Chain A
């Protein structure tokens, strides 16, 4: 079974600085997708960024980028120029490359932005 591990229960960063959230996963599959979701206090799950395992190029979305290391099964999220609105729980998630597959989530990292 696939597992997703987030080893940092809490992180904090100064506003405008850069922070990196860690995620590792375990799978025997070669094709899959990885995601980072953000859950602010409103509890709405918001997709931050996604990465296809077959792509070597790391995904980027504005201030958000990932460092995808397939061999190491590592998928970290870097947030640049941190803003107060980035404060939230961040969940790493894995999905096999099949139709209608479920997401497997990590335990989450609570990110605090220090003004």
Chain B
């Protein structure tokens, strides 16, 4: 199955600033998924990123707050914009793997102060 390199692994950011998270996959994939995991919670899908088209956002998530880039079939970025303490979460990217299993990046732990 695919291997995903996600960076940064963690960051502490000032409120009002932005952070861009990168995911690099070792093989070409059609779709990439971005999830948020708030402290002690489950994973919630933010958006689905398809190469060459705009990302599709889930209810409650908007492009201005979480712009996504998908320039090619192996790379994607998620930006968390104008951050507030409520954005403190773990952010994970994911791709569909073999036999419909999914592979995840190692996650980015974001703390907003």
Interface residues of A (CB under 8 A from B): 33, 35, 42-45, 47, 50, 91, 95, 99-108
Whether the Cβ atoms of B106 and A50 lie closer than 8 Å is no
The 6 closest A-B pairs by CB, nearest first: A45-B104, A100-B31, A43-B107, A105-B42, A105-B43, A47-B101
Chain B residues in 8 Å Cβ range of A105? 42-44
Subset of 21 A-B contacts with CB under 8 Å? A35-B101, A42-B106, A43-B109, A44-B106, A45-B43, A45-B92, A45-B94, A45-B102, A47-B102, A50-B99, A50-B100, A91-B43, A100-B30, A103-B43, A103-B45, A103-B94, A103-B102, A106-B42, A107-B41, A107-B42, A108-B41
Interface residues of B (CB under 8 A from A): 30-31, 33, 37, 41-45, 48, 50, 90, 92, 94, 96-97, 99-104, 106-107, 109
Chain B residues in 8 Å Cβ range of A99? 30
Q: Nearest-CB distance from B80 to chain A (Å)?
A: 17
Whether the Cβ atoms of B101 and A50 lie closer than 8 Å is yes
Number of A-B contacts (CB under 8 A): 54
Q: With CB as the reference atom, state the residue of chain A lying closest to B47.
A: A102
Chain B residues in 8 Å Cβ range of A35? 101-102
Q: With CB as the reference atom, state the residue of chain A lying closest to B33.
A: A102
Whether the Cβ atoms of A95 and B107 lie closer than 8 Å is no
A44→B9 CA distance, assembly (Å): 11
Whether the Cβ atoms of A43 and B31 lie closer than 8 Å is no
Q: Given the known A-B contacts A50-B99, A103-B94, are A108 and B104 also in contact in the complex, defined by CB atoms under 8 Å?
A: no
A75→B41 CA distance, assembly (Å): 20
